[in-house]
Structure 1
Amino acid sequence: MSACWALQGMSGPQKSVLISLADNANDEGFCWPSVAKISKRTCLSERAVQNSIKWLCTAGILSLQERMGRSTVYTITPASYAPPQEMHPAGDAPQPPHVVHPTPAPRAPRTVIEPSLEPIKSPSASETSADDETIPHEKIRELYNQVLGGKLARCLGLTEKHRRKIRACHNLKLEGKFVVREGGLSFWEGLFNDVLDCPFLLGTNNRAWAADFEFLTTAANIQKFMEGKYDAR
């Protein structure tokens, strides 16, 4: 009955009576000491012992069986211990807090937005930004080498910088059109062939300078070339 020692939620006299009974109980929790014996062991009055026994029965940890002419048999069940809740007189019960409900503010007028009757236009492919998956970077490089490889420095491989420049070209918009994107590879082939007719870009200039793949795939330079700004040089 060592499990009784850890139980809480009872008064000192109640715990003393419980421990005294547990000390007398066998392994099954049965014992039958007299009230006088319990009183002597706990130094409590017999009335205090009886009140404690009554409370322990109410808490479920103790049950008793009275026998005529013999001492009462007590059964201790620590696993059934459930201390009763203390009852307070109605006058001592705490009053619920007084809740003051604020006066609700007047509702703001609702604004009703009428749905537009105009159909929603989805952006076309030419109106959206080009991405790397739709741009034939490698084919553009091959076209450059095929058309201009004998006149200008060849491009042996694409760098991330090259890809960014080509992507910017595909997003170049002139007179309301994405001329590079809409022209596709035909635009690039035409551009590179037109460069063959531009001596300035091929190196015939007083600076001994010639265009290269990076120069011809720069959006600003393509715009200048299409505007004829390299023709008279």
Structure 2
Amino acid sequence: MSMMLMARAMAIKTGNPLRKLVLIKLADNANDSGECWPSYRHIADHCECSRSAVREHVGALIALGLLAKVNRTGSNNGKGNASNVYTLHLDSPVPPKSTPAVQPADRSVSSESTPPVSCSGTRISHSFDPIIDPKAVIDGYNDIFADLLPAAMLDADRHRQISRLSSHMTRKSTGAFLGYFEKFRNIAPDFYFGGEDGSGWRASFDYLMRPETLRKTREGAL
């Protein structure tokens, strides 16, 4: 989280309250260089809106010049798509009259696609405390490793696993976990995905929560 970007995002007029909330959420996830890579689902859950609304507002922010987006694809034998990388450009506030028109559909909330989220899960931090959302970590894992590794569900044990592994991370945030997952997927040999040796063994969420797995991924030593 960059406090400087959060402050700038709060001061910018976007012409729409939900669009501003999406911008603030991106700033909340961004590092000091303005980069972040939250999934549409993660943004939608925290902003209490649909994924389609998030896509529309991200497009509007790009049109305003406040945001740049880079689509990434898996580099390890094409293992799925990586999440988008966003870069915030908040140096100059944009006049409200230049904002694109708001589509009525953007104001709706889909009860099917956005389950209720606890107040602690949707808050926007105004302190220097790191934010790690265990649900978003699990959701990010399931999105990044869809059809590659076994799906994971959040429970008390995995809350503890996430908390313990965070102590081994340089940047303690949800984005750091998602970046770790993406790097593992992109550099891990096929062995970890049911591999070429015919064993059928696959890594899992619990395996990725081991400090030694994080260390090997960080050092490119898998």
Quickly name the TM-score band, shorter chain normalised. Answer: 0.3 to 0.5
Q: If the length of structure 1 is used for normalisation, what is the TM-score?
A: 0.36
Q: If the length of structure 2 is used for normalisation, what is the TM-score?
A: 0.37
| Bigger Rg, which one | 1
For CA contacts below 8 A with separation 6 or more, give which structure has more relative contact order: 2
